[in-house]
A and B are shown apart, each in its own frame.
Chain A
């Protein structure tokens, strides 16, 4: 049975996910989005993996949420508050969500993982470091290259060529 910390974290996670999608203002939505990765980081702590939890907080709450917040601030004010959606589509989406949740939930409840528990000690984070440097080293280098490439690509994409240097000085 789940304990109180788990229940609180699941309320925070799912509630902030719904709030991020449904709040009228995009700015409040992006602030609410910080709750979902934060709650998932709490789940990681419950799962005895503090290293991944810290990484998650540093990357998601620290950088991605701030990046999204700044992008939202670059957008026109009336677009931030504008909500375009038709009702039929919304109800169809809610129906899809419920069907998906119930059917997948039923499949999982019916499967064998209901009985899985563990008394074994958690994986030490030193093992993760050893994994990264031995078995996964090509993937680690590739990931670094992908990150560098994506940052350079993002900078090139977002650059404006129509602004001349005189305009930039003003």
Chain B
């Protein structure tokens, strides 16, 4: 195998940093969901990479679980965004003030 573990890990770090940038800068709720997706992908990449280099089947198994849970998270998150959009007529998270103390 010509690719080393560190290459995959560095790509994963880059994806994680981009996701953190999106979560901290964007105020659009859908874009924040994009950022969460990017972070989850970085985590999955790390799990499969470490599972390949150990080698152990646990990494792939955990990645499969993680992908399935991410699908559930997106379904609930998008429906929450739709409900909030109906209530506030906007998807800017600065407008979602009902829970603000």
Contact = CB atoms under 8 A, between A and B. Distances in A.
Interface in B71-101: 71-76, 78-83, 85-86, 89-92, 94
Contacts of B30: 26, 30, 68, 71-72, 75
A101 B38 contact: no
A68 B48 contact: no
B21 A96 contact: yes
B38 A36 contact: yes
Contacts of A97: 17-18, 20-21
B78 A67 contact: yes
Contacts, number: 234
A155 B52 CA distance: 38
Interface in B38-92: 38, 41, 44-45, 48-49, 51-58, 60-61, 63-65, 67-76, 78-83, 85-86, 89-92
A29 B33 contact: no
A108 B6 contact: yes
Interface of A is mostly: helix
Nearest to B80: A157
Given A14-B14, A30-B34, A127 B55 contact: no
Contacts of B24: 89, 92-93, 96
A131 B38 contact: no
Interface in A40-85: 40, 43-44, 46-49, 51-52, 55-56, 59-60, 63-64, 67-68, 71-72, 74-76, 79, 83-85
B27 A56 contact: no
- Chain B residues touching A, range: 35 or more
A13 B11 CA distance: 9
Contacts of B85: 74-75
B6 to A, nearest CB: 5
12 contacts: A3-B3, A14-B11, A30-B34, A44-B48, A52-B44, A71-B78, A118-B53, A123-B52, A128-B57, A128-B64, A131-B61, A157-B79
Interface of B: 1-11, 13-22, 24-28, 30-31, 33-35, 37-38, 41, 44-45, 48-49, 51-58, 60-61, 63-65, 67-76, 78-83, 85-86, 89-92, 94
